[in-house]
Structure 1
Amino acid sequence: MQLSCPSPVLRHETVQMAHGAGGRLSQELTARVFMPYLGNPLLDQLDDQARFDAEPGRIAFTTDTYVVTPIFFPGGTIGDLAVNGTVNDLAVGGAVPRYLSAGFVLEEGLPLADLERVVKSMADAARKAGVVIACGDTKVVQKGQCDRMFINTSGVGFIPPGRDLSCRNLRPGDAVLLSGTVGDHGMAILTTREGLSFQNRISSDSAALNGLVADVLQAAPHLHAMRDPTRGGVAATLNELAAASSVGIELDEASLPVREDVRGACELLGIDPLTVANEGKVIVVVPRDEAEAVLEAMNGSREGKDAAIIGEVVREHPGMVVMRTAFGSRRILDMPLGEQLPRIC
């Protein structure tokens, strides 16, 4: 669809207040930066809403806002992080992600080259995940009123009939699996933001997991629950699961996959890697007789090559997570009290 404005050639190389005013500069920004990367039959209509056909089953709907700093980091950008995070929130509920919205809050003076880089990363992430960015919005605020760029993404997916995953479904005897190494994203953000250097550069694990989740669901027809351990890390997510189902969870410390560079950074900073955010991992709880099939399915994908069975659901100590340490002792893995690493997503 052709825009009605004159030639979309911007004379500015940074975001201006007028870019958010709804006039010609807004149209030119849309034509130059957004549509070349995000254009699709739904978004091309440039209406105030996107219209699409519903699929059989229940509708899943989620929203999240991304304020990470810096907006570029090893392994990703704020743009692909926003797409991947929203796709994963749908997928771990058993939904097939289909449509996303994208709302941008831009700081006056932001280089348009940076915005274009972020938008391109969103388009690439959406294409890899098989989802469509169907609608969007842009607002500009005065310099100093936001930190370069904030993004809100909402997502719609469809849960096939008969699928019912819930954090209240855990049963004693279930196996707990983790799709890969912990703490990668949070440590990538922190070390980049603080200018910390290590022998190996720590990269974010940001990735869309709907493909891996589809393989897991096929391997485990009686799967009980899935969650992505983002803010608060594995510790927060497992505590939430234990509390919701009124069961206990026991972990085996030796089975927890942690990259050596992440472990070293956490030890240096006095941080437990189990409390650090992940953006490309999923915790899966299944009946014990389906655990090996799930592990094999995970290991068969790039995102799950480091997957492991990390623990089990027990009747004892309901609502608590207990870890068996490498020294043979046991310690309570409590819910984190606060945000150790601010603005990691």
Structure 2
Amino acid sequence: MRNAGTDDRDSQQRRYIEAAGGPGDLIQLAHGEGGLLTRRLEEELFLPAFRNPALERLADASVLPLPGSGRLSRFDPSTLVITTDTFVVTPRRFPGGDIGRLAVCGTLNDLAVSGARPLALTVAFVIEEGLPLTELQAVVASIAATAREAGVPVVAGDTKVVGRGEADGLFVNTTGVGVLRGLPAPGADRIVPGDRVFISGDIGRHGVCVLSTRAGLEFEAALESDVAWVGPQIEQLYGAAGQEAVHAMRDPTRGGLATVVNELASSAGVGVILDEAAIPVSPPVAAAAEWFGLDPLYLSCEGRFVAFLAGDEATAAAARSASLIEIGRVVSGPADRLPRDQAACARPGGGVALGREAVPGPGEVWLRTHLGAHRPLELLAGAPLPRIC
């Protein structure tokens, strides 16, 4: 007998197929780019099929209180945080890293921005027949070295080999398990008007590095991926600002800074303004992005994190002491929502009017440009850079 929950899930999945254009539709590269189509897959296909409280947050990792666990302490081994990721980057080796280092850092960073201290990793390989053994040995050595650097053991794994032409050389899947470092844990539900937005370093380096390597291009200034383990900088932030002040964090991988801030703004129901002049983009990245016709705000970072922090000056000073850079503010919340026909003045994307100032409405992100004007920043809608991680 089918229950109501099963019927509801099935109907949601049917609506997704119909909205996509019918069961004959094909998956596009853009479905894997972390933007609008990825979000639709998550919200309209996967979430209805697998719905549970841990998954509903659609965060970088899921928090799993174990049965019988009590109130969390600062370091409670009864509360696990888990995340998984698959890496298909091409080329598999690039300046600053390779698929092995990327896999370890990407998974551990998802745990760290979710407020967890990593405990262990698993690694699985899908290998195409004909891959040189020396390349596999190099990737394994890279995984081992990066895991040792982070102080996290690889405790389980799996290997599958497929025939020639059935995979593109090598894919790597990693799963990370950690423990919540304390309460309150960071999350979109803690973002409020007045929060300040910070970034941990310059943006876009991984994206342009992989793209230029793939294209066989060399620019006057060397481009190198930023792939790195962000845990030490996050620990420094917690130590300086305190647990309460860290409201939310994400790592801006696929879809870059603009997409991650949009996702958090949408989940929290807040409006955000980012300051273009404050967002750090190195001259080599800016030049390469302009050459490729890409916006650095949408380029992948693999060793950076975005933090939404309490808006007081003491917290801002603590963030700067951890080498974070302030790039924006949360300027409106759910209570500020107005019908569009009541908008007091023209503004990007609709927005709301607080006093005489037009600000982004709940779920909207605006960019204050170098000229002082505002333009909306939307979710990534295409596939400018497939297989970036």
User: Do the two structures share a fold, i.e. TM-score over 0.5?
Assistant: yes
Out of 298, 302, 309, which is 2:326 matched to? 309
Q: Provide the rounded CA distance (Å) in 1 between the counterparts of 2:206 and 2:112.
A: 19
Deviations 1:207-254 (A, max 9, x none): 011111111112222210000000000010000011111111101111
Matching residue within 214, 223, 245 for 2:268? 245
Query: Which residue does the alignment assign to 1:275?
Result: 298
The residue that corresponds to 2:101 in the other structure is: 80
Q: Does 1:205 align with 2:205?
A: no
Q: Which residue of 2 aligns with 1:96?
A: 117
Cα deviation for residue 167 of structure 1 reads: 1.5
SS of the aligned residue for 2:263 comes to helix
**Structure 1 pair 339–168 and aligned structure 2 pair: CA distance change class (3 A):** farther
The residue correspondences of 1:138-217 to structure 2 (distance < 5 A) are 138-217=159-238
Query: How does 1:21-32 map onto structure 2 within 5 Å?
Result: none
Which residue among 351, 367, 370 is the counterpart of 1:326? 370
| Count of equivalent residues | 284
Partners of 2:381 and 2:112 in 1: how far apart?
A: 27
Query: C-alpha offsets along residues 108-152 of structure 1, whole Å, 9 cap, x if unaligned?
Result: 111111111111111110011110100001111111111110000
Paired with 1:196 and 1:209, the residues of 2 have a C-alpha distance of: 29
Structure 2 residue 318 is matched with structure 1 residue 293: yes
Q: Would you say 1:224 and 2:244 are equivalent positions?
A: no
CA distance in 2, matches of 1:118, 1:112: 10
- Any stretches of 5+ residues in structure 1 without a counterpart? 1-53, 300-306
Q: Secondary structure at the match of 1:224?
A: strand
Question: 1: CA distance between counterparts of 2:152 and 2:91?
Answer: 26
- SS of the equivalent of 2:189 reads coil
Partner-residue secondary structure (3-state), 2:375: strand
Q: Is the 8 A contact 2:247 2:309 kept in 1?
A: yes
Q: Does 1:264 align with 2:287?
A: yes
State whether residues 76 and 182 of structure 2, in contact with CA within 8 Å, keep that contact through their aligned partners in structure 1. Answer: no
Aligned to 1:343: 387
Residue in structure 1 matching 2:257, options 196, 218, 234? 234
TM-score by length of 2: 0.72
Cα distance in structure 2, aligned partners of 1:193 and 1:168: 39
Q: Shift in Å at residue 74 of structure 1?
A: 0.5
The match for 2:146 is 125
The percent identity for this pair of structures is 48
Q: Secondary structure at the match of 1:143?
A: coil
TM-score by length of 1: 0.80
CA-to-partner distance for each residue in 1:277-306, whole Å, 9 max, x for gaps? 110000011112212201211x2xxxxxxx
SS of 1:212's equivalent in the other structure is helix
For 1:343, the aligned partner's letter is R
After superposition, the CA RMSD in angstroms is: 1.2
Rounded Cα–Cα distance in structure 1 between residues aligned with 2:255 and 2:122: 26
**In structure 1, how many angstroms separate the alpha carbons of the residues matched to 2:250 and 2:78?**
21
CA drift of 1:57 comes to 4.4
Query: In 1, distance between residues paired with 2:164 and 2:144?
Result: 27
The answer to whether the 8 Å contact 2:251/2:305 transfers is yes
- For residues 158 and 132 of structure 2, the distance between their equivalents in structure 1, rounded to whole angstroms, comes to 18
Q: Which amino acid aligns with 1:272?
A: D
Question: Which stretches of structure 1, 4 residues or more, deviate above 3 A after TM superposition?
Answer: none
Q: Is the 8 A contact 1:230 1:277 kept in 2?
A: yes
Amino acid at match of 1:146: A
Contact 1:58 1:161 in 2 (8 A): no
